[in-house]
Amino acid sequence: MSKKILIVDDEEDFLKAITIRLNHAGYETAIAKNGIEAQDYLKENGADLILLDVMMPKMDGLEFIKFLKGNDSLKDVPVIFLTAGSFDIAEQVETLASAQDFMLKSVDNEQIIDRIEKVI
């Protein structure tokens, strides 16, 4: 049985590209375009890992991971932050530290797969 990865990101091109790459690598994928959609998805479905963008509308990744880690049934789902945006890391260090990894979207697809394999 393949591992299920929930990709939470608001950029269509990135979603298409990473979904194709992860499916090709043998992973099952689901997408959500913001933290609210991700919450709704997780209420009905599970995930073995979440790839989470930081900067999104409605509910950003920082708000979403606080929800996730505060939920007893979801708090152990591993998270990898994957972002292209810039923000003040110093102000968010505690929240970012609750994820298993943090990468920029500009990394090579193989690096993303390698990091995912290390986490799950």
Domain annotation for the chain: domains and CATH numbers = 4-119 (3.40.50.2300)
**Backbone phi, psi, residue 49, to 5°:** -165, 150
pLDDT in tens, 45-83: 989 999 988 888 898 888 888 899 899 999 999 998 887
Residue 38 pLDDT: 95
Q: What gap in Å lies between CA 73 and CA 94, rounded to an integer?
A: 21
Max Cα-Cα span within the chain: 39
Residues 11-18 have a mean pLDDT of 90
Q: Look up residue 86 and give its DSSP letter.
A: -
Distance between terminal CA atoms of the chain?
13
**Side-chain half-sphere exposure of 57, counting CA atoms within 13 A:** 3
Q: Give the pTM.
A: 0.83
Q: What gap in Å lies between CA 14 and CA 2, rounded to an integer?
A: 22
Q: Sheet holding 49-52: strands in order across?
A: 28-32, 4-8, 49-52, 79-83, 101-104
For residue 15, give both structure tokens: 């979603």
